[in-house]
Amino acid sequence: MGDENKRKENGKVQQHRERNKAAKRKRDKLKSRLIQQERDEFFTREEKKSVKRAFFVETMSPEVSDDEDATRRVAIPFIWESSKMTDIKRVLDADYRQSLVVQSRRQKSKVFRSTTDVVRTPTPKDIPSWVISSTYVME
């Protein structure tokens, strides 16, 4: 309760809530992708292991609410993310969405990938090399 009071004093309650919401979206996205990856049969056993090593919270793209449409969210890709990683995420997301019952699918916000913005964070440690784009130059 002390932290909450301190945030109220500093006027940072909204910022704290938004940060927690964003973190929960990343955790949920990770969970749904890992569940779908286990279900999908077109990945070989070795590919599943490699994808699992590449998927953790730090490799999940942040999502923000769309300014023009509150029912949509926009995923902002990492500058270092390879096209293979992007394709795998896209397939898993589409397959997961299809696996949901109609009502859940309707309630789930549609996520679009930003084509103009990128997140410029350093690459996470200990990820497979295929996750990093061959054109990415570490700064």
Beta pairing partners, 72: 110
pLDDT class of 114 with cuts at 50, 70, 90: confident
pLDDT class of 107 with cuts at 50, 70, 90: confident
- Mean per-residue pLDDT, 89-97: 92
- Measured distance CA(87)–CA(84) in Å, rounded: 5
**Percent of the chain with pLDDT strictly greater than 70:** 99
CA-to-CA dists, residue 22 to 11, 13, 61, 101, angstroms: 19, 14, 10, 25
Query: Cβ–Cβ contacts within 10 Å for residue 59, how many?
Result: 20
| 11 φ, ψ (degrees, to nearest 5) | 70, 30
Model pTM score: 0.82
Which of the pair, 106 or 30, is modelled with greater confidence?
30
pLDDT attached to residue 30: 95
pLDDT class of 139 with cuts at 50, 70, 90: low
15 and 6 in contact (C-beta within 8 Å)? no
pLDDT attached to residue 113: 86
Residues 53-79 have pLDDT tens digits of 999 999 999 988 777 777 788 899 999
DSSP secondary structure string for all residues of 60-102: SPPEEE-SS-TTEEEE--BTTB-HHHHHHHHHHHHHHHHHS-H
